[in-house]
């Protein structure tokens, strides 16, 4: 008898099980871009999209352990440095790089740089590299709670000379109820022992639901982008392969430089190894969910592409960096 088919395919299936989200990102983006005319109605489903964002952020915050956040408060230096890099160095660097890009791609890069640290992967990669994941969790909480003010202010300042109109107060108000309220409500729910236990026991399932929510927001953004590219009256039709190539390079440079700058500055500041590792990862990572939502709020179209590219880049680059740091004594 021959070898069973599932045995032959086990390594392949294991690979897809580990990387299913990356493949789903590519598939969702491709379908949305290529078949956008067939799904044009999803672009106008603003309330549905807002509801998905709020549910995803609620579920994500439900898994955050406040005890871990409290532990990081005992040595706040690393956390403050990571927040300064995430909300200071990264946006400034992106703003400088944006001048070399197509206007919409440049705006997308700025949006990417001004959104908060991602909730799950910053702690995961910090832990994988041997760092203090409590710092990464606290940076995540601080940047997400403050993004409803910080992100609009950065966008208003960096786009004031561009052909983009940022309605400051409406954006602050909308981000407050989309982000701040779900996070605070989730942490309030964790005060109930049964809900806290459920969130801990079902963490992987909650993560799966959140990832599906992200894919749905990405699909709406991809459809918006596809429709924009097909509109003969819009300047996006002048975007070429060189523009996309420059965007890919800019994203890779931005994330890699921020990652190692955070670690180097942390080490020079006298932080212990576990702390400066956390500063590097938490200071350079950005959240896909909020980035996609903000990109759609400021116009959609090509502005979603740098955010998606940054997300994929940080997963790939940080995997290599974490594995290297785990076996190395220097940044």
The total number of residues written for the chain in this structure: 331
pLDDT grade for 163, boundaries at 50, 70 and 90: low
Judge whether residue 40 has pLDDT over 60.
yes
pLDDT at position 267 is 94
pLDDT at position 151 is 92
pLDDT at position 107 is 93
Sequence-separated (6 or more) residues with CB below 8 Å from residue 251: 109, 112, 306, 309, 310, 313
Query: How far apart are alpha carbons 135 and 78 in whole angstroms?
Result: 7
pLDDT at position 236 is 52
pLDDT at position 100 is 93
CATH no., domain 40-225+240-326: 1.20.1530.20
Judge whether residue 251 has pLDDT over 70.
yes
- Half-sphere exposure (Cβ direction) of 186: Cα atoms closer than 13 Å: 24
Average pLDDT over residues 211-228: 84
pLDDT at position 161 is 58
For 141-145, the CB contacts below 8 A with 24+ separation are: 141/64, 141/69, 141/183, 142/79, 142/83, 143/83, 143/86, 143/87, 143/116, 143/117, 144/57, 144/61, 144/116, 144/117, 144/119, 144/179, 144/183, 144/287, 144/290, 145/180, 145/183
Judge whether residue 177 has pLDDT over 90.
no
pLDDT at position 121 is 75
108 with 292: CB under 8 angstroms?
Answer: no
In the chain, the percentage of residues whose pLDDT exceeds 90 is: 28
Q: What are phi and psi of 119, to 5 degrees?
A: -75, -50
Average pLDDT over residues 15-36: 83
Judge whether residue 242 has pLDDT over 80.
yes
148 with 181: CB under 8 angstroms?
Answer: no
* Mean pLDDT taken over the chain: 85
Instruction: Give the residue from 54, 23, 52 showing the smallest Cα distance to 216.
Output: 52
Taking only the tens place, the pLDDT of each residue in 255-278 is: 999 999 999 999 999 999 999 999
Average pLDDT over residues 124-132: 84
Judge whether residue 59 has pLDDT over 70.
yes
């Amino acid at each position: 008898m021959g070898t069973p088919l599932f045995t032959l395919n086990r390594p392949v299936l294991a690979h897809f099980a580990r990387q299913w989200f990356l493949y789903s990102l590519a598939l969702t983006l491709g379908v949305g871009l290529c078949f956008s005319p067939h799904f044009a109605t999803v672009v106008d489903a603003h309330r549905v999209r807002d509801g998905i964002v709020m549910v995803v952020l609620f579920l994500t915050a439900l898994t955050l352990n406040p005890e871990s956040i409290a532990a990081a408060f005992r040595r706040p230096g690393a956390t403050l440095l990571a927040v300064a890099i995430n909300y200071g160095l990264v946006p400034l660097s992106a703003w400088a790089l944006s001048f070399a890009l197509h206007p919409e791609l440049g705006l997308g890069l700025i949006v990417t740089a001004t959104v908060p640290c991602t909730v799950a992967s910053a702690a995961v990669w910090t832990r994988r590299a041997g760092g203090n994941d409590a710092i990464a969790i606290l940076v995540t909480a601080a940047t997400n709670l403050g993004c409803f003010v910080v992100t609009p202010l950065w966008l208003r300042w960096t786009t004031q000379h561009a052909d983009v109109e940022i309605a400051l107060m409406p954006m602050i108000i909308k981000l407050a109820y989309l982000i701040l309220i779900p996070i605070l409500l989730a942490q309030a729910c964790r005060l109930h022992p049964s809900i806290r236990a459920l969130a801990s026991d079902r963490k992987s399932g909650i993560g799966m639901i959140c990832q599906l929510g992200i894919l749905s927001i990405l699909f709406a953004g991809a459809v918006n982008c596809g429709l924009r590219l097909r509109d003969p009256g819009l300047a996006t039709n002048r975007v070429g392969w060189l523009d996309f190539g420059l965007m890919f390079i800019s994203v890779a440079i931005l994330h890699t430089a921020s990652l190692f700058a955070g670690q180097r500055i942390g080490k020079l500041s006298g932080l212990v190894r576990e702390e400066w590792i956390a500063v590097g990862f938490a200071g350079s990572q950005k959240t896909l969910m909020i980035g996609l939502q903000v990109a759609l709020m400021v116009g959609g179209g090509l502005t979603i592409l740098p955010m998606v590219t940054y997300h994929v880049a940080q997963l790939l680059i940080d995997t290599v960096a974490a594995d290297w740091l785990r076996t190395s004594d220097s940044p």
